[in-house]
Chain A
Amino acid sequence: AQTVTQSQPEMSVQEAETVTLSCTYDTSESDYYLFWYKQPPSRQMILVIRQEAYKQQNATENRFSVNFQKAAKSFSLKISDSQLGDAAMYFCAHKTGANNLFFGTGTRLTVIP
């Protein structure tokens, strides 16, 4: 069965600082995909970054990067130079070829001015 665990229900960061959101997952598959989605107060689900399990290089999108540790089944999101607009719920999600997108419980990020 798919599992995705986000152990930090809430996190806060000072504006311009760096924060890391944790995610662990479990799967018996060797080929899969991992995602971080952002949900601001507008409720829209916005794809922030994705990682392909067969790629060793960590994905990066501007100020957002991941630390993908395949052996540990860990997929953390690092947000650098945090901005007020980064305040949101962040969901980690996992997908194998056969299964649908499976989400963690989310981390609410507060950015302190």
Chain B
Amino acid sequence: EDQVTQSPEALRLQEGESSSLNCSYTVSGLRGLFWYRQDPGKGPEFLFTLYSAGEEKEKERLKATLTKKESFLHITAPKPEDSATYLCAVQATSGTYKYIFGTGTRLKVLA
């Protein structure tokens, strides 16, 4: 069964304290892995797509990486405005139109 697991569930960081969020996945074949940011009371906002192991994408303080079993979202020198829930999703080759979401990591960055 296709599955996505995110860890930790919640993370508190001091401003400037770098860390990583993990997304482990089990799929028969990976078509794409997606990272989203979700602010309270809003819809998920797209951040990155990764397609194959070894691929990396960067945007400001965020960097996403992908291996054959997991993805990491690295946050370098975070700021309070980076506080949000970060969601990971995969699209498997077996289900062209379906996306499987993890339950997210709630990140709080303290000033």
A and B associate in one complex:
no
Interface residues of B (CB under 8 A from A): none
